[in-house]
Amino acid sequence: MKIDQSTIDRFLEPKMLRSLGRLSLMSRRVVEGAQVGSHRSPFKGFSTEFADHRQYVKGDDLRHLDWKVFSRTERYYIKQYEENTNLRGHIILDCSASMNFPKKPGPGKMTKYEYACRLAAGLAYVLIRQQDPVGLVMFNEQVVTQLPAMRSMTHLRRILRTFDDIAPSSQTDSGKALTAVAGLLKRRGLLIIISDLLDEPQRITDSLAMFRHRGHDAIVIQVLDHDELNFPFRKRMTFRDMETRENISLDGAEVAADYTHAINEFIAGFKKSCFEHNFDYMLADTATPYDALLAAMLARRQR
């Protein structure tokens, strides 16, 4: 899969890679697999699954030559395999229409989806750098796409290309989508859920309970635009729901206090649910530089 260097640089800016430095991402629970990265496994031995090809170099084990590829290309390629690891990460990324807010970002701003993709890219890079496989699931009202967990740089490029190919659309049905995600993930792992969580809270908290029951560890990153958090609107305005397309006219000054109370209660509910399941929760304000937010989150988790 080809991907332009400009796309790589957009999602993995040099300043973010510098800020991540030698930080790592660990799981708080022992999950399945053999020791591969910086983690210990409760199991002995390992199994393998095909991951990628690389060109043959002198000294490689000839048992791993792919003769089918040779018959087509007359070039020697070695099959590469993924070893099962006790930390298998999965990034679960919301690509519903509400993530496309604001519709027209001003200078230096980006949509929640663009911000979330950069967070996801940084976390995928950290996992692959520490030799742990990472998969990707994107959802709106259903699972939109899935990439299996692998740990090659080629796979990282696939993840970035997927971010670029998918545009936020459709309504959110987190309960339905996350239930489907649970069915896709057959082995325990570290789930990184990145979403604005703008859905019925009980359906999301039920999904978190389901993930905990199945033995997963999780990090929940709630991405909200700075205006969604602070409600700077003080005039009469018409607001449009980005998923249902419904309009509502409001006097900003009259509803500001009630809105602030409601959004704080909304956020507090998710914090409480994550705490109960021993999951990490992080609120990501799109006005915060994503490289600084990621570095702070990883440093805190290491401690």
Instruction: Say if residue 41's pLDDT is above 50.
Output: no
**What is the average per-residue pLDDT within 134-162?**
95
Q: Does residue 42 sit within a domain? A: no
Residues 150-164 have pLDDT tens digits of 999 999 999 999 999
Q: What are phi and psi of 240, to 5 degrees?
A: -120, 130
- CA dihedral angle for residue 140, residue 259, residue 209, residue 25, rounded to 10 degrees: 80
* Local structure of 162: helix, strand or coil: helix
- CA dihedral angle for residue 116, residue 119, residue 124, residue 130, rounded to 10 degrees: -160
No. of helices (H) and no. of strands (E), the chain: 10, 10
Shared domain for 166 and 123, answered yes or no, is yes
Q: Which pLDDT band, with edges at 50, 70 and 90, does 167 fall under?
A: very high
Listed range (47-56, 57-66, 253-262, 289-298) with the worst mean pLDDT: 47-56
Q: Does residue 10 sit within a domain? A: yes
Q: Does residue 166 sit within a domain? A: yes
Shared domain for 124 and 249, answered yes or no, is yes
Shared domain for 65 and 148, answered yes or no, is no
Shared domain for 156 and 237, answered yes or no, is yes
Shared domain for 154 and 232, answered yes or no, is yes
Give residues with Cβ within 8 angstroms of 138, minimum separation 6: 92, 93, 94, 95, 144, 145, 146, 162, 166
DSSP calls for 176-218: HHHHHHHHH--S--EEEEEE---S-HHHHHHHHHHHHHTT-EE
Q: Does residue 154 sit within a domain? A: yes
Instruction: Say if residue 33's pLDDT is above 80.
Output: no
Element (H, E) at 240: strand 236-240
Shared domain for 122 and 157, answered yes or no, is yes
Q: Which pLDDT band, with edges at 50, 70 and 90, does 55 fall under?
A: confident
Closest CA to 147 of 129, 169, 130, 165: 165
C-alpha 49/C-alpha 83 separation (Å) is 7
Q: Does residue 37 sit within a domain? A: no
Q: The domain containing residue 52 runs over which residues?
A: 48-83
Q: What is the DSSP letter of 130?
A: T
Shared domain for 134 and 251, answered yes or no, is yes
The reported pTM is 0.82
Cβ neighbour number for residue 164 with a 10 Å cutoff: 15
Closest CA to 217 of 87, 33, 97, 64: 87
Q: Which pLDDT band, with edges at 50, 70 and 90, does 48 fall under?
A: low
Q: What is the mean pLDDT of the chain?
A: 87
Question: CATH number, domain at 198?
Answer: 3.40.50.410
Shared domain for 123 and 105, answered yes or no, is yes
Q: Which pLDDT band, with edges at 50, 70 and 90, does 232 fall under?
A: confident
Q: Does residue 124 sit within a domain? A: yes
Q: Does residue 39 sit within a domain? A: no
Shared domain for 76 and 163, answered yes or no, is no
User: How many separate domains does the chain show?
Assistant: 2
Q: Does residue 43 sit within a domain? A: no
C-alpha 291/C-alpha 143 separation (Å) is 28
What are the residue ranges of helices labelled H in the chain? 5-11, 14-20, 67-73, 112-129, 153-165, 174-184, 201-213, 226-230, 252-276, 290-302
Shared domain for 138 and 219, answered yes or no, is yes
Shared domain for 280 and 151, answered yes or no, is yes
